[in-house]
Structure 1
């Protein structure tokens, strides 16, 4: 979803442990389961449609359908079947159901695709894995022995599994990545990339454009959490690159909680803060600070990470204390489903299977569609090399309209965002005014400091930590 990750690794594992109640907005073993241009707004479309049946997913023609593909071309591929791996951390005891929406989305998409005839007539078999947070390496070793590719998965501890994935030359179209080596690994593509060396500053620029106070009197809500510190440092660096200097009022929340948040609120008020940004997730401490700000009569404009697009936030804001909360995101919100066919399609399909609905589920869905389109284009000659070749050529992707344009082939983030606003318990698109559009500018993509990457990259922007000479590389 959003976030830049250890830095990336340390930050991501802590933050992802909170996905079940924060980032995973619920608005709303082995199993067989049948870019916009500079200064403009871009609609949620733009995918290169693959040939297939008459079924569509938003603006994308379905890559699934009948066919006569033949041949046992690769591990996990036979005349009649393609075996892929997918999964999440749903069995993590500390956060039951962690990222469950991702596995639910992929199992739903497998059923949807098989119902149309599979990929060129080959049915898809899904091996569903539960990494339970700490078992990612074990899961990866299983996948190495039986899967053609990994598709749409999200494992918080993917860094621990990366050496095994690279070692067995298992390609992936990941739902998300966390560790720096996983994010920049070989044979890895994502529908929504978050590379360690590039940052999409569109939400920051949009906030400065919409709210003058954000560009002049803004500060960050930070805490003693290593994850929040890392994220805040990256945001502060990005702000400075676009001409915004945080006020540095000296407020530091205790990650373990504080007896009272009024002193922090008073400090922000006396400092003259008129806008706030945070990389913190919406937790009781965050809510207490916002309530304290209201109590002392300070009402700054709030522009927060996409984790704040959450059911927990909606339920909390019954008194309107959070009515100045704005959220930057590259995803179309569920509230736009009546105007954005891809979002409605996702909701209809997953709800029909009684699955968990959340933004990470849409992200996994986009990953499945990206993989399926590439696999379909390979026809009978379905090999890992062919799929990687096809994926490397995809440079504008929206998942049929689920999110803003990204560049999976080059592992580059979107240069777009839209802004949501919370009013009472309801979120709604605030800007751009036209539903389904984004504010985009190529200048939004900023290079990050190599000291923050957490890994060394080669000339192809690929992590070298586990790199071997025989990894599968694009040949086109």
Structure 2
């Protein structure tokens, strides 16, 4: 059996390109390489006022029980949760989740957690907050060269809003989500955040391949931006922007390359680092290459592959010629499947093939087929089927409530975590909730795990996580092959 090694790219732009919901075909990427604002779309930016699905979720359903301004979280029934905008590129609307019919958590897994609710005295309506509603924005790449690329982030954010609204409110207000499409384009991201600045109180669970576009906009209007993860240095440096998966692109988690150097000592001396040649990927890949060398690897082949490339045979031949034994790739899982196909066709069987968690997705398993057997994935999350983790069971249940049959993935899990993080911080602030105070509160968050969904993240410090796990795919199923819950180790500088 082939044994492949999948490489972790904690926050590269190319990691962002990998959660696509449909197969990358030539017509899909026909516009790649052009475009305004540094994006992939080749066309214009997002039209002002447009949304990913033309609608919003949550909102002003009637509340019962103690849903009044006298307490931070109401306990009455949610009533109608409003309509949810469909997150497909067609712009259609979908119906909202079924209120309280999905699982309910308790204790720290309750929708508002166990934080002490702040007094609602002094609570003021402001941008994005009315007597009934707190409007959040979710900005994600939905259309563009890979339709549905970050649909999972919008689905998960909607799911948490449905979960929260089913039993809770914040000082009498329900949550509502405005879904905006950044279209894998920096200009579109900037326009979406201009709209968010004007209409939403905060942005939550956002995910974009070119998230540099809206960074300055969010900071200039003081918009709290609690993202799934960040993909560019500009977003990380935005003073009001944070992420459930914290990342400093120049810092590389050292646990993964050290583990593979120990497990495959000979192969690590004949390694290849391949990456999708788009956006900030080349810079981030150089950080990885440098860090892996410090972990004891010898990289003999360092190569970018264009997003529109469909002939992987020359790259496979180069690896054969150079005697490569350990292959790492960072990019869309659809392209990974094509690379594995080319390797199989040419009889190239390295000792290991590694990729980040973008391939830890059932859609990759289906696309790769038997060629995926033996691949490794490096992740900072728990296994999705580990529903003994109560928060994982909640995420899965409410995701299915919002989008029956939706596939859980890395970006969706961190978007759910980001939504919980917003809720807990907002509930604790109570009547002191405003944009500036929320940003200050976020800057103090450390060791955030989303109730066990992922490794501790230094959200406020914005540093790369030091822990993670290695999964392996065999027979269509993933299992953890690294020791303990997570391996941890010192960060490696990619500089």
Question: Mapping of 1:423-438 within 5 angstroms?
Answer: 423-432=474-483, 437-438=485-486
Matches within 5 A, 1:83-102: 83-90=135-142, 92-102=143-153
Residue number among 446, 460, 463 corresponding to 2:492 in the alignment: 446
Change (3 A) 1:137 1:272: closer
Residue 186 (str. 1) matches residue 232 (str. 2) = no
> Is 1:233 matched up with 2:286?
yes
Q: Give the one of 362, 366, 373 matched to 1:323.
A: 373
Please give the secondary structure, in 2, of the residue aligned with 1:333. coil
> Conserved in 2, the CA contact under 8 Å of 1:195 and 1:411?
yes
User: Which of 387, 396, 405 does residue 347 from structure 1 map onto?
Assistant: 396
> 1:82 aligned to 2:131?
no
Which residue of structure 2 aligns with residue 20 of structure 1?
20
Separation of aligned partners in 2, 1:22 and 1:79: 40
Deviation for aligned residue 1:95: 2.3
Question: Residue 453 of structure 1 corresponds to which residue in structure 2?
Answer: none
Following superposition, the deviation at residue 255 of structure 1 comes to 5.8
> Larger deviation: 99-108 or 53-62?
53-62
Where does residue 175 of structure 1 map in the other structure? 228
Matched residue of 1:431: which SS?
Answer: coil
Mapped contact 1:22–1:281 kept (Cα < 8 A): no
TM-aligned CA distance change 1:107 to 1:221, over 3 Å: closer
Relative to structure 1, the CA distance from residue 382 to residue 420 in structure 2 (aligned partners, 3 Å threshold; closer, same or farther) is same
Contact 2:316 2:343 in 1 (8 A): yes
Partner of 2:326: 275
Alignment deviations for residues 206-261 of structure 1 (CA, whole Å, 9 cap, x no partner): 2223333343332324576676544432221111122222133x777676546672
Q: Is the 8 A contact 2:425 2:438 kept in 1?
A: yes
Is residue 410 of structure 1 aligned with residue 435 of structure 2? no
Could you tell me whether the CA contact under 8 Å between 1:396 and 1:407 is conserved in 2?
Answer: yes
Counterpart of 1:142 in structure 2 is: 195
Aligned pair partner of 1:247 in 275, 300, 305: 300
Which region of structure 1 is more displaced relative to structure 2, 57-66 or 181-190?
A: 57-66
SS at match of 1:410: coil
2:69 equivalent in structure 1: none
Question: Where does residue 45 of structure 1 map in the other structure?
Answer: none
Length-normalised TM-score, structure 1? 0.76
**1:290 CA drift (Å):** 5.3
The RMSD of aligned alpha carbons is 3.4
Q: Measure how far apart 1:381 and its partner are.
A: 1.6
Number of aligned residues: 414
Does residue 198 (structure 1) correspond to residue 198 (structure 2)? The answer is no
Compute the TM-score of the two structures, normalised by the length of structure 2: 0.74
- Distance, in Å, in 2 between the alignment partners of 1:283 and 1:393 is 38
Q: Distance in 1 between matches of 2:377 and 2:261?
A: 13
1:33 equivalenced with 2:81 (yes/no): no
1:143 to 1:81, Cα distance in 2 relative to 1, 3 A? same
Q: Secondary structure at the match of 1:401?
A: coil
Residue 304 of structure 1, CA deviation: 1.8
Equivalent of 1:112 in 158, 163, 168:
163
Contact 1:198 1:412 in 2 (8 A): yes
Q: 1:109 to 1:438 in 2, by over 3 A?
A: same
1:370/1:239 CA distance change after superposition, 3 Å: same
Give the Cα separation in 1 of the matches to 2:221 and 2:413. Answer: 28
More relative contact order in 1 or in 2 (CA 8 Å, sep 6+)?
1
Stretches of structure 1 that go unaligned for 5 or more consecutive residues are 35-49, 450-476
SS of the counterpart of 1:397? coil
